Structure 1
Amino acid sequence: MSRHHGRTKRNASLNMVSLMDIFTILVFFLLVSSSSVKDLPNAKQIQLPESSSQQLPKETVVIIVGEKDIVVQGRKIASVPAVMGSKSIEIRSLKIELVRLAKRTVRKTTPDGKPVPREVTIMGDKKIPFALLKKIMLTCTKAEYTNISLAVLRKRDKG
């Protein structure tokens, strides 16, 4: 009986090396898994069109086009009525903002030495006029954003 009581009187110890290894692995796992999720910003006033596309969104410059405003990366750039009333084929304030954002990032090159095309995603309400969308897309190309994506909602499969 005295043998059993002797076990409980010893001091318990934790192996700190193993514990630190586990926490290090956990931290790396959480960092990797959280950086792989890329969601587009949610604008409640915008109702996106639907599409059957299976491609996931990438992290790019986001232009949100609502009924009243054009917003780039959270900053209001222009009002839709003013842009629609303008006779210009491009939106000057949008071009200035896109060029400013392009200057802030380092432009990568392909193995050939060519610059990697800049990317932009347009989140436009499904009711915006095509003339407005055309002006925005033309302005993006003039600001050297050549890969233009349109954000859409994925259609649900029937079945």
Structure 2
Amino acid sequence: MSKAKLSGRSKRMSSFEGLHKHGGLNLVSLMDIFTILVFFLLVSSGSQQLPSSKDITLPTSVADKVPQETLIISITDSAVLVQGKKVVDIASIQDSDEILIDELVTELNFRTENRLYAQAEPTEGQAITIMGDENIPYQLLRKILASCRQTNYTKIAFAAVQTAKGKG
């Protein structure tokens, strides 16, 4: 049998098939993308940040321990917020003679029952962070603390701006 003469197009097609028959996945580009993704995740999750608010001027602290992520109560000039959700107006709290803030107790109980930000077993005290202006009235803070204790949030931390320790 004699070999038939191939046309130019047939030669090009067979050459193309020979070159591209063993195509594979180029892992170098994929590894570069995953490396960048890993570095981004490491940098962005490196430290827990409290939500910033221009209405609140935090007191300063020299504590070394970084707080864990907990439920946050923010106290502004006009309202008390739990995780950014307005719970009650400050004016209605200050006018009241009640020790507990009913709206805050209801919200904290709801979050505990639905296990939102619940860290420990129900028999143990829950952790909470209070983020308030350094000049909030003591009576207001006392009512908030009493409401937290009533709802089993007994591990209470106060948010503060960390400053460098002075040489002593």
| Fold in common (TM above 0.5) | yes
What does 1:91-106 correspond to in 2, within 5 Å?
91-105=101-115
CA-atom RMSD in angstroms: 2.8
Task: Compute the TM-score of the two structures, normalised by the length of structure 1.
Answer: 0.77
**Equivalent in the alignment of 1:153:** 161
Aligned mates of 2:159, 2:108 — CA distance in 1: 18
What does 1:103-118 correspond to in 2, within 5 Å?
103-105=113-115, 117-118=125-126
Show structure 2 runs of 5+ residues with no match.
Answer: 1-18
% same residue: 28
Corresponding residue to 1:129 among 137, 140, 157: 137
**Equivalent in the alignment of 1:52:** 62
Deviation at 1:144?
1.2
1:117–1:19 distance in 2 versus 1, CA, 3 Å: farther
Describe the SS at the equivalent of 2:63.
coil
* Counterpart AA for 2:132: G
* Counterpart AA for 2:126: R
Corresponding residue to 1:82 among 86, 92, 95: 92
Deviation at 1:14?
8.3
**Equivalent in the alignment of 1:4:** none
Deviation at 1:71?
0.8
1:140 lines up with 2:148 in the alignment: yes
Task: Compute the TM-score of the two structures, normalised by the length of structure 2.
Answer: 0.73
CA contact under 8 A between 1:108 and 1:115: conserved in structure 2?
A: no
* Counterpart AA for 2:52: N
1:42–1:99 distance in 2 versus 1, CA, 3 Å: same
Structure 1: which 4+ aligned runs deviate by more than 4 Å? 106-110
